[in-house]
Every structure is written in structure tokens, then in C-alpha cells.
């Protein structure tokens, strides 16, 4: 949907979100969805004190840097913690099962290809240039 086709209140909400980058971080971290925040914004207005906690919080797109230009230790630790949470959530038994299923499917496909190659060797087409019709109409 083009920017000019948007309802004016949606445009205003987008500007509000840019001024409150903590909302972006909250939605991306699995908090409420945009619809919920939009409805709160409509009901409470943008001057409500509940929005103050989202104002001035750095968004996830910007990297905090120290004076030497490297990411801060806090950011690195936060990233490491997020990755550890993702790894903890993975069920290795399910992953192994899916890999085994995929391996079986690939083996079946290879077997089918081999069977087709054998069938082609046993029954070579004598009329390579002739295109056969899938329908046997008017043939005796």
C-alpha cells in the first residue's frame, strides 16, 4: 500500500513510533503486536505518561559503540543471551527426526531416478524426433 493511500491516523502513528523506538523493540521481542499499540495510542493519545518508557530507548537497528568504535560489552552479552535462549528452545530430537526424514526422502528420489534410467536403457525410443499425442484418437 502506497504512503499516500494510508489513513492520516496511521501516518501519525508511524511518526509516533519513530519518536518512541522502544515500541519497535517491544514488538520485535515478542510483546504485543502493532494493532494493540495502535489501539492504545488511539484511546490514550500520544501525551499519555505510559508512552514515556518507550521514548528515547535505542532501537535494535542502531549499534551502541564505545569511544574506540567497538560494540559495548553489554550489547555483546545481550546478543549472547538471546542466542542462548534460542538454542535452549530447540528440541534436538525433533531436529534429528526431520533430518532423518529428509535423508529418507532424498534416498527415495535417488532410487526413482535410478529406476527411470534403467527403464530408459531397456526400452529406448526408436522414434526420437516424433512427438506422440497423449490421446490415441483415430488410430487403428
> In this predicted model, what pLDDT tens digit does every residue of 42-68 receive, in sequence order?
888 888 888 888 877 444 444 444 444
pTM of the complete model beyond 0.75: no
Write down the pLDDT at residue 59: 40
Can you tell me the distance from the alpha carbon of 134 to that of 136, in angstroms, rounded to the nearest whole number?
A: 7
- Output the average pLDDT for the chain: 78
| pLDDT per position as a tens digit, 98-112 | 999 999 999 999 999
Amino acid at each position: 500500500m502506497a504512503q499516500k493511500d494510508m489513513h492520516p491516523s496511521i501516518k501519525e502513528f508511524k511518526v509516533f513510533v519513530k519518536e518512541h523506538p522502544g515500541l519497535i523493540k517491544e514488538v520485535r521481542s515478542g510483546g504485543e503486536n502493532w494493532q494493540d499499540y495502535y489501539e492504545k495510542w488511539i484511546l490514550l493519545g500520544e501525551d499519555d505518561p505510559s508512552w514515556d518508557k518507550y521514548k528515547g530507548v535505542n532501537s535494535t537497528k542502531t549499534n551502541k559503540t564505545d569511544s574506540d568504535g567497538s560494540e559495548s560489552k553489554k550489547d555483546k552479552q545481550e546478543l549472547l543471551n538471546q542466542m542462548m535462549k534460542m538454542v535452549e528452545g530447540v528440541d534436538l530430537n525433533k531436529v534429528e527426526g526431520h533430518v532423518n526424514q529428509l535423508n529418507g526422502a532424498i534416498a527415495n528420489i535417488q532410487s526413482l531416478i535410478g529406476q527411470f534410467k534403467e527403464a530408459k536403457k531397456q526400452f529406448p525410443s526408436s522414434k526420437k524426433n516424433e512427438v506422440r499425442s497423449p490421446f490415441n484418437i483415430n488410430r487403428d
